[in-house]
Structure 1
Amino acid sequence: MVHAGAAVAAFCTGLSRPPRFNKVAANAVPDLAEARPDIGGGEEESLAEDSDVDSISEWELDFCSRPILDARGKKLWELVVCDSRRQLQFTRFFPNNVINSVTLRDALMYIMDTLGVPKPEKIRFFRSQMQTIITKACKELDIQPVPSQRCVALIKWLEERFETVYSQHPGYQEGASPLLLQQQSLPLDLPDALRGEEWAFVQLPFEAVLEEMEGVVRGDVFGSVLDLGTLNIDLSGDIMIPGVAVASSRATPLAAWTNALELACLEVDTQRSCLVLSTGVADRWRYAFYRKSRQTDAEGEAWEAAKKKCGGLHFLAVQSSLDSELCTGFWLLLDTPISPV
């Protein structure tokens, strides 16, 4: 846990300033060859040699069209699956006439049986338009589908594949827009159960953030972390990570309720004079408000600039008071990366 005020530097703000912080059923291996188009390479199925397969309990998945035309002049679809550390990596192209939950279910079974990985507890996906197909396939395999923007490793991999696979393919359609674009929704009022009593912009040294992450991993506090190795962000030991501290006299239930959400990121909305919390795939909430003035807008802009300096990395902390040395909840967040396809 983080101790004392030296660990935290609060932004200069007219708001409260804290001095511290803190088995799939036994089926035959599905044959995917019948649905497999000849795309001339670019597919992958691998498991890192030093992988601890039992630790791969959550997958990230994308099932969507690509800016590539097949021999029929139709867009190719692709399934991409990995875990947060990319120990597991699997891709498979499909023609557009076999896109359904049965194809996806069979592909998931193929991954488990062929690569020898256990059935995951959860599968995260970031395209809401594919929710019906993904949910049906997962439910048939007794896997929990999780709509989430926290598919960081997956989106980073899609960025790599865009450069090394999609754009190099002879059927690549330059300038083609993604078939399934995610529209940003208007922020809604936050449910009362998720609202704190006080809040403040804060920042923590990177080393202190690592300490808080360790507490989350151990299960000492509510929260969620990210695999920093997948982010490709230069995080030196003395860099300050911006965050938001929320205080509540009911900090434990507040942290528990917050943990039930799939938190993505926080952003300052100077038009509405509030913080906006993004959760799930496309949900946005008016999380906290401030009295609008040039000073408070400038403070919000400074906080956003600090996030940008850290590659979008930031955090949310829930505490019993803004003076507390302990957190009851800590979530490492990242400005949602945009999929290139």
Structure 2
Amino acid sequence: MATLGLNCYSSRIRVARRQPAPLPASSLHPLSKPRSFPLSLLPPPATHSGTRRPRLQSPSASVSTTSTAADDEEDLQEEADEEEAVDPTAELRFLDPAVDPGSIREWEVDFCSRPILDDRGKKLWELVVCDRTLSLQFTRFFPNNVINSVTLKDAIASISDMLGVPLPEKIRFFRSQMQTIITRACNELGIKAIPSKRCITLILWLEERYETVYTRHPGFQQGSKPLLALDNPFPMDLPDNLFGEKWAFVQLPYSAVLEEISSFETRYAFGGSLDLDLLGFEMEDKTLVPGLAVASSRAKPLAAWMNGLEVCLVEVDVSRACLILSVGVSTRYIYATYKKNAATTKEAEAWEAAKKACGGLHFLAIQESFDSEDCVGFWLLLDLPPPPV
């Protein structure tokens, strides 16, 4: 585990139902090799190389080591020709021939209306399916009068038959309003349905399809609002089993984050990773990625509980002087609180600014103590706006 750099401000104790008290700076223990990356020393957000929004990279895209102006112009023309050739009304079926179909065990699914009217003047619905690497891609439009679990079940089964892939073990979806239909369809096929906003690939693909497909459809309705908006409920009190004992804002160089990902499957029993190459992240190795470290004497059971929650986001609510943990599709917890003053407000705002500067990338690490050589659980997270559909 790369050394986490603690900030220069004091940590806070978070014990069940007690008001947190600030610790003196001398009581902070950096991990293994003492390093300090005060947030005040972060480069201004505008200077980060990773400020742009993540964009999906095609799984079949190759990296070219040399390029000329003529090559670039030819590539741009090819891309333009491909976009012109796309039929926005057509069904998409794609399976990467370089991938073993049996290795695709989890799908991400969205089944919702689009800002498109059919011949009857009714909104079209669309089923969009992919895996986290975009090796599997499928889309199909439906009229609004056939939207039910039977239609969805038959469509999922047809994907397996048409593309020659086995039915997945799990299907993730991010719209709470569709939980009944999706869960029922999955249950009938023996698939585990998981409500989760960790459908990063799917959400970014929907944003891309909005620009390249929906807006070009003859029935597109400019300014049409999503029928099923994402939930953002008021945060609840944290369950007792999720309490840690101490927390601190921390940072890791981007190179260290890449190291964590490269050995993720062998290093961590609890946690979640992201495919940063697919998401198109481009940062300098020394760019500091913000995170939250939680220390607990019961770190393993705490990480095990967290592992079943589909952790998707940590954010600071400066007005309430607290940290918000978002899990699943519609659950938000008050994860920690702090004493509000000028210093802590500045620290919290700097952490959020660092997260924004990194394109929303951040992490959550659970340790036995701030002296620990390694983490018990590590979640790489991405703060994304909701899709435009």
- Residue 327 in 1 paired to residue 375 in 2? yes
Specify the SS of the correspondent of 1:49.
Answer: coil
- Residue 79 in 1 paired to residue 127 in 2? yes
Specify the SS of the correspondent of 1:230.
Answer: coil
Q: CA 1:71 to 1:40, structure 2 compared with 1: closer, same or farther past 3 Å? A: farther
Residues 96-134 of structure 1 deviation map (CA, whole Å, 9 limit, x = unaligned): 011000000000000111101111111010111011000
Distance 1:89 1:103 in 2: 19
Consecutive unaligned residues of structure 1, counting only runs of 5 or more, are 23-38
RMSD of Structure 2 on Structure 1 (CA): 1.6
* Aligned pair partner of 1:19 in 30, 39, 55: 30
Distance 2:224 2:248 in 1: 43
- Residue 299 in 1 paired to residue 295 in 2? no
* Aligned pair partner of 2:270 in 203, 207, 222: 222
Alignment partner, residue 193 of structure 1:
241
Specify the SS of the correspondent of 1:54.
Answer: helix
* Aligned pair partner of 1:98 in 146, 154, 178: 146
* Aligned pair partner of 2:117 in 52, 69, 86: 69
Specify the SS of the correspondent of 2:306.
Answer: helix
What code does the residue aligned with 1:297 have? Answer: T
> Identity over aligned residues, as a percent?
60
Alignment partner, residue 294 of structure 2:
246
* Aligned pair partner of 1:9 in 5, 27, 34: 5
Q: 1:318, CA displacement in angstroms?
A: 0.4
* Aligned pair partner of 1:51 in 99, 104, 111: 99
Q: Give the alignment of 1:160-175 within 5 angstroms.
A: 160-175=208-223
Distance 1:268 1:13 in 2: 16
Alignment partner, residue 27 of structure 1:
none
- Residue 264 in 1 paired to residue 275 in 2? no
Q: 1:221, CA displacement in angstroms?
A: 3.2
What code does the residue aligned with 2:313 have? Answer: C
Specify the SS of the correspondent of 2:6.
Answer: coil
Residues 185-227 of structure 1 deviation map (CA, whole Å, 9 limit, x = unaligned): 0000111111100000000112222233344312543111111
Q: CA 1:86 to 1:40, structure 2 compared with 1: closer, same or farther past 3 Å? A: closer
Specify the SS of the correspondent of 1:12.
Answer: coil
Distance 2:284 2:32 in 1: 20
Distance 1:177 1:51 in 2: 37
Distance 1:140 1:116 in 2: 20
Consecutive unaligned residues of structure 2, counting only runs of 5 or more, are 12-22, 34-86
Please say if residues 199 and 322 of structure 1, whose CA atoms lie closer than 8 Å, have aligned partners that are also in contact. Answer: no
Please say if residues 105 and 167 of structure 2, whose CA atoms lie closer than 8 Å, have aligned partners that are also in contact. Answer: yes
* Aligned pair partner of 1:131 in 169, 179, 182: 179
